[in-house]
Structure 1
Amino acid sequence: MNRLSAWIKSIHFLIGLQSKDETLPDVREISIPIRNGSLRADCYMTKSKSLGTIITINGLAPLGNRDPRFIIVNRSLNQLGYTVVSPFYDEICDYKISLRNIEDIKDSITYISKQKEISPSGKVSIFAPSFSGSLSLIAVSEKEIAERINSVCAIGAFANVDDIIGNLFANQSLDEYGRMILLLNFLPLSIGENKSLFKAIKLAILDNYFKYKDNLLEPHYSKMKKTDREFFEKLKYNKDFRMKHWEIILKKGGKNRELLTALSVTNHIDTLNLPILLIHGLKDDVVPANESSMLYEKLQARGVDCKLCITNLISHGDTGFGFKTLFEVPKLISSFSYFFRKAYDGK
């Protein structure tokens, strides 16, 4: 694909993302075998010869691949002429952060790339926002997986997980949705099990996501023990209280430390050797833009084919791009055109 064609694709993609149509189109559903069972996936097939195959990996959201915003992304990529495969990662959609997330992504890549009808070339590209962008970069750092990859587009990814957790815990003005997800996953390393408290945290996350008129948390909260309610309120509003528990977590070794180490992209940077596009919102209120800048500098220093776009047009892991600052649009077009050229399977 030449640069002009890629630019045109990129413009059409950005226009497609402005769509308000959130209905799921006619997709083919497949089952992807993984080591712990199977994942269902939506396949957006092309009407004519495909330009390439793109696997889209959703962020930490319960609707996953069928989140209305993600449907718009998948449909927009498909309308360009790419085959799009969008799995439902049940662990990620249930807000569970673990090494299994990475294994599930690897298994998905391996299976999809072997399906000749879906991926004739035996290679795929990855499009992933937020937390899943970092997980994807870690997954493709493995040589056997990298051999099946054309390119990766990671939006709002982090470099070092320790820094992100510490930042979200310490800064009250940052995104509560992301902070609560991290508390749900890592607070047990500090306080152990407390079913009532962790149920409250999860219900708060779901209320934030779905924005129900009658929220899910309130009925449970009213039945909680006073000590648990007080603990929950401190988690929400007291940064010093959160940081005290984060320091306890950091002091623990063993599997706790291994998980945090394994989830940091910087610890896998030496084996990342494929085309990578990093896009980040300048005012991202979950993962600071300097995380992508750090990754880019490390990749560039190793001579990796990569591109960085820091923009005011998006927030954290966004998929809808508002054209508020028109002079930034060409930069975003150029960035996505890079990804579409690398994702192209033609000669």
Structure 2
Amino acid sequence: MKKLSHWKMSLDFLLGLQNNNDLLPDVKEIQIPVKNSILKADLYQPKLNSKGTIMTINGLAPLGHRDPRFIIVNKSLCKIGYTVVSPFYEEICNFKISLRNIEDIKDSISYVSKQSEFTKTGKVSLFAPSFSGSLSLIAATDAEINERINAICTIGAFGNVETVIRNLFANQELDAYGRMILLLNFLPISIGENENLFRALTLAILDNYHKSNEATLGPHYHSMKKEDQLLFDRLKNDTEFRMYHWNQIVQNGGESRVLLTALSVIEYIDKMKIPTLLVHGIKDDVVPSSESLLLYKELRKRQIKSKLCITSLISHGDTGFSLKTLIEFPTIIDAFSFFFANATDLNP
């Protein structure tokens, strides 16, 4: 009976994602203290008794927890009975990749799990796409934090960040949005500071996100020096040129090498304890599905309760599952029922 109820929750959740109503509902705005900062967050509260608490961790998107796709996810989780806490991670939304991202996630988990207003059991579960999915997995390996988590669901997470960056730099056919974010973060190690160039990269990312066809990049690009325009164009279109700079980044070592290691989930795999659902698009054009397969194999090897779902129903880190291919529907339902079975409080 319990399995059937989790299947129904999974079905209702997936059907909720088909709703295009992305208007922000009547949520309570709360604050979450982290080291040297305060995070804003939206609190979604179910109408009836809560089945548990899920924290949703936004990806590398400027609107963060209020990205229309994320609002739909939060509403759907709340509708099936979960309390949802969705913080706004400003650094992540500003495309800044750093170790502070992990610390902010850990601090927010610690705070939320200790508030009786948000959870009755002192535990939460995590739902996170892409880059933030990997960060959440790393945060959950902390000895104190993993005691406060029931389950984790990641969408399009990676195991080895260096492999993902190399693939994005080397393959022109892969996603330009992710590539530009990585260039923005790691290119200064190779070329030093160049304010106009990095402004151009930032605007290219924003235009890609908003699908605005270079509305903001164009004027800035035309104001740049010719040599900076050429540098931008080569970074955008020249695979060999990008790979040259990637090799420079790796060879320079120092903080970049530490960061690359620190952002790779595979480095923490021996500390993993929490039931984990890994969902990945088979045609993901940023992080190949082999990354989730790698993590799944390592988790199973260590006898960690886990489930893998590689599907054609989503693209990279997508939270909107198309249900047009009905043949995969039972597999997706089964995957999320695993997550909800572990995310539901045993003693609410």
Does the TM-score normalized on the shorter chain lie above 0.5?
A: yes
TM alignment of 1:253-272, pairs within 5 A: 253-272=253-272
Q: Which residue of 2 aligns with 1:125?
A: 125
Q: Which residue of 1 aligns with 2:322?
A: 322
Q: 1:143 deviation in Å?
A: 1.0
Q: Is 2:237 aligned against 1:237? A: yes
Q: 1:117 deviation in Å?
A: 1.2
Q: 1:213 deviation in Å?
A: 6.1
Q: Which residue of 2 aligns with 1:311?
A: 311
User: Residue type matched to 1:158 in 2?
Assistant: F
Q: Which residue of 1 aligns with 2:226?
A: 226
Q: Which residue of 2 aligns with 1:73?
A: 73
Q: Which residue of 2 aligns with 1:171?
A: 171
Q: Which residue of 2 aligns with 1:48?
A: 48
Partner SS for 1:48: coil
The CA RMSD measured in Å over matched residues stands at 0.9
1:15-65 superposed Cα distances (whole Å, 9 cap, x missing partner): 000011010000001000000210000000122210000000011000000
Moved over 6 A (4+): none
Q: Which residue of 2 aligns with 1:109?
A: 109
Q: 1:326 deviation in Å?
A: 1.1
1:292-324 superposed Cα distances (whole Å, 9 cap, x missing partner): 000000010001000000001111011111123
1:197-232 superposed Cα distances (whole Å, 9 cap, x missing partner): 000000000000012367100111011000000000
Partner SS for 2:269: helix
1:99-154 superposed Cα distances (whole Å, 9 cap, x missing partner): 00000000010000001011110000000001000000000011100000000001
Q: How many residues align?
A: 347
Q: Is 2:204 aligned against 1:204? A: yes
Q: 1:334 deviation in Å?
A: 0.1
Q: Which residue of 1 aligns with 2:15?
A: 15
- TM-score, normalised with respect to structure 1: 0.99
Q: Which residue of 1 aligns with 2:343?
A: 343
What's the % identity of the aligned pairs? 63
Q: 1:346 deviation in Å?
A: 2.9
Q: Which residue of 2 aligns with 1:287?
A: 287
User: Residue type matched to 1:49 in 2?
Assistant: N
User: Residue type matched to 1:270 in 2?
Assistant: D
Q: Which residue of 2 aligns with 1:6?
A: 6
Distance in 1, Cα, partners of 2:183 & 2:256: 14
Q: Which residue of 2 aligns with 1:190?
A: 190
Q: 1:254 deviation in Å?
A: 2.1
Q: 1:2 deviation in Å?
A: 1.0
1:165-196 superposed Cα distances (whole Å, 9 cap, x missing partner): 00000000000000000000010111111000
Q: 1:253 deviation in Å?
A: 2.0
Distance in 2, Cα, partners of 1:213 & 1:140: 38
- For structure 2, the residue ranges without an aligned partner over 5 or more in a row are none
